[in-house]
């Protein structure tokens, strides 16, 4: 664990850099707005903890009305369960028999659910549950256009039937369309969500034809949750990124009915070198992910033009000039392009209250499931 990153109660200019900083006021606005949205649309909220990887944040989401959280990986579920999260959905497939034994054991301790998309996966899960005693709720995942995991909607009934015939509890459908989340236009995303709803209805029909009830459809992300919530088929939202809002999501046209979310996650960096044409900050590839573009600079006419492992090179942007370059030692707040993989690069969140001009450090939260890949 890193020493001396930040101390509780200290002003934010004392936070050592680079640091992963949460603007708590902004995060709580986002958290509250989504909770109100879900409540007012009569859908359950199960935010995705793959994004923030934090038990403290999961608890805050649950305190605001979420029924539990999603994770993608068994090890994330185990760590969050140990930290006191009692209702977790592994919204992903697990096929390894040894891991499924752990899934069954975890299901004996908390309310657990898991997604499946194969006969083999169901069989192995059923065998693990028989051996261990615990059993998770099982969601059949359908491919609703992303071309990732999931069976075809027409095949959902047969797989649900197999789940039930192996003595497992069929909980419903997992229908997440990751490919639709970042489509720029709101109308494009709405059309994609409409197509998801059509495929879900087809899957529900195939389940009913197999003589099985479909209790719940879970899905949706920050780009499409408005449309899922009003689709008439989706009963639970799995939104993740709304809480921190990265650049990738800031660039899409918001849906009219969506709450406005603010950036709440930043990498605090410091100018460590300055020339006539550019400055270099002390945060590079090891401090932020660049799969969705380089970080942007908050509140200044600067853009990142290049990077190294430990360096970020900034030049004036737009109407900015070299005279606007920050001074040696000045703080520069970076907004990550993609929050999930950025978070996974850090051990600790520094949570700041009172904004990024005059705030103080209110909490230090471990990134509990950092590196939980199995
Ligand atoms: C299955 C699943 N559900 C929900 C989400 C949350 O999406 P977002 O962070 O875009 O809100 C993801 C993100 O990748 C996901 O894979």
Report pLDDT for 290. 98
The DSSP line for 122-169 is HHHHHHHHHHHS---EEEEEB--SSSSS-B-GGGHHHHHHHHHHTTPE
How far apart CA 175 and CA 60 sit, in angstroms, is 25
Tell me if 269 sits within 8 A of 296, measured CB to CB: no
User: Tens digits of per-residue pLDDT, 62-79?
Assistant: 999 999 999 999 999 999
- Output the pTM of the full model: 0.97
Looking at residue 320, its pLDDT comes to 82
Of the listed ranges 41-50, 115-124, 316-325, the least confidently predicted one is 316-325
Q: How confident is the model at residue 318 (pLDDT cuts 50, 70, 90)?
A: confident
* Secondary structure class of 311 (helix, strand, coil): coil
Mean pLDDT of the chain: 97
Distance (angstroms) between ligand 1 centre and the Cα of 323 equals: 42
| For ligand 1, mutation pick of 44, 48, 141, 219 (most atoms within 8 Å of CB) | 48
Q: Burial code of 104-131, b = ≥16 C-beta within 10 A, e = fewer?
A: bbbbeebebbbbbbeeebbebbbebbee
3-state DSSP assignment of residue 361: strand
Query: What ligand 1 atom has the least distance to the C-alpha of 222?
Result: 11
Instruction: Out of 46, 50, 115, 340, give the residue to mutate to test ligand 1, the one with the largest number of ligand atoms within 8 Å of its CB.
Output: 50
In the predicted model, is pLDDT for residue 334 greater than 60? yes
pLDDT tens digits along 139-149: 999 999 999 99
Count of residues in the chain: 374
Ligand 1: lining residues by beta carbon, under 6 Å: 48, 51, 70, 91, 176, 178, 181, 221-222, 238-241
Assign 2 a pLDDT band (cuts: 50, 70, 90).
Answer: low
C-alpha of residue 70 to centroid of ligand 1, in Å? 9
pLDDT in tens, 263-312: 999 999 999 999 999 999 999 999 999 999 999 999 999 999 999 999 99
Query: Do the domains at 12-20+261-366 and 24-245 have one common CATH topology?
Result: no
Question: Binning pLDDT at 50, 70 and 90, where does residue 3 land?
Answer: low
Question: Which are the contacts of 133, defined by CB distance < 8 A and separation ≥ 6?
Answer: 104, 108
Beta strands 279-281 and 265-274 are antiparallel
- pLDDT tens-digit map of 152-181: 999 999 999 999 999 999 999 999 999 999
Q: What is the pLDDT of residues 202-247, one digit of tens each?
A: 999 999 999 999 999 999 999 999 999 999 999 999 999 999 999 9
Grade residue 55 by pLDDT with cuts at 50, 70 and 90: very high
State residue 256 phi and psi, 5-degree precision: -55, -40
Which CATH code fits 24-245? 3.20.20.10
Average pLDDT (350-358) is 97
Enumerate residues 6+ apart whose C-beta is below 8 A from 116.
93, 122, 125, 138, 139, 140, 141, 159, 163
Domain ranges in the chain?
12-20+261-366, 24-245
Residue range 107-133, pLDDT digits in tens: 999 999 999 999 999 999 999 999 999
CB-CB contact of 192 with 179 (8 Å): yes
Q: What pLDDT is recorded for position 324?
A: 87
How many Å apart are CA 279 and CA 328, to the nearest integer? 8
Local confidence band at 1 (pLDDT 50, 70, 90 cut-offs): low
Those residues whose C-beta lies under 8 Å from the C-beta of residue 63, and which sit 6 or more positions away, are none
Identify the CATH assignment for 12-20+261-366 out of 2.40.37.20, 3.20.170.30, 3.30.1330.10, 3.40.50.2300.
2.40.37.20
Distance between terminal CA atoms of the chain?
22
Q: What does the alpha-carbon distance between residue 277 and residue 164 come to, in Å, rounded to a whole number?
A: 66
Of all protein residues, the one whose alpha carbon is nearest to atom 3 of ligand 1 is: 238
With CA atoms as reference, report the closest residue to 335 among 286, 282, 264.
Answer: 264
240 C-alpha to ligand 1 centroid (Å): 6
Which of 51, 234, 240, when mutated, tests ligand 1's pocket best, judged by the most ligand atoms within 8 Å of its CB? Answer: 240
Place 4 in a pLDDT band, splitting at 50, 70 and 90: confident
What atom of ligand 1 comes closest to residue 241's alpha carbon? 9
């Amino acid at each position: 664990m890193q020493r001396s990153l930040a101390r509780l109660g200290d002003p934010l200019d004392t936070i050592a850099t680079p640091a992963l900083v949460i603007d708590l006021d902004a995060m709580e606005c986002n958290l509250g707005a989504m909770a109100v949205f879900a409540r007012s649309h009569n859908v359950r909220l199960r935010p995705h903890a793959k994004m923030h990887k934090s038990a403290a944040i999961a608890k805050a989401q649950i305190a605001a009305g979420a029924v539990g959280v999603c994770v993608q990986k068994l090890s994330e579920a185990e760590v969050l369960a140990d930290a006191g999260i009692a209702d977790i959905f592994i919204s992903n497939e697990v096929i390894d028999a040894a891991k499924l034994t752990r899934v069954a054991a975890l299901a004996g301790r908390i309310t657990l659910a898991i997604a499946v998309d194969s006969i083999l996966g169901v069989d192995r899960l059923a065998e693990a549950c028989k051996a261990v005693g615990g059993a998770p709720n099982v969601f059949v995942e359908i491919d609703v256009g992303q071309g990732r995991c999931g069976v075809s909607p027409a095949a959902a009934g047969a797989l649900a039937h197999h789940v039930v015939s192996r003595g497992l509890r069929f909980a419903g459908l997992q229908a997440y369309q990751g490919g639709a989340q970042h489509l720029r236009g709101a109308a494009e995303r709405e059309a994609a969500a409409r197509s998801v709803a059509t495929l879900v209805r087809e899957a529900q029909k195939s389940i009913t034809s197999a003589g099985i009830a479909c209790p719940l459809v879970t899905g949706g992300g920050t780009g499409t949750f408005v449309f899922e919530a009003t689709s008439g088929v989706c009963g639970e939202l799995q939104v993740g990124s709304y809480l921190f809002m990265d650049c990738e999501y800031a660039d899409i046209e918001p849906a009219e009915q969506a709450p406005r979310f603010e950036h709440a996650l930043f990498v605090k960096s410091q100018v460590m070198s300055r020339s006539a044409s550019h400055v270099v900050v002390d945060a590079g590839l090891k401090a932020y992910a660049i799969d969705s573009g380089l970080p942007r600079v908050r509140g200044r006419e600067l853009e990142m033009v290049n990077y190294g492992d430990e360096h970020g090179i900034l030049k004036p942007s737009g109407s900015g000039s070299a005279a606007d370059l920050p001074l040696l030692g000045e703080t520069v707040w970076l907004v990550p392009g993609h929050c999930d993989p950025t978070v996974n690069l850090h051990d600790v969140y520094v949570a700041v209250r009172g904004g990024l001009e005059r705030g103080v450090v209110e909490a230090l939260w471990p990134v509990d499931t950092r590196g939980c890949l199995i």
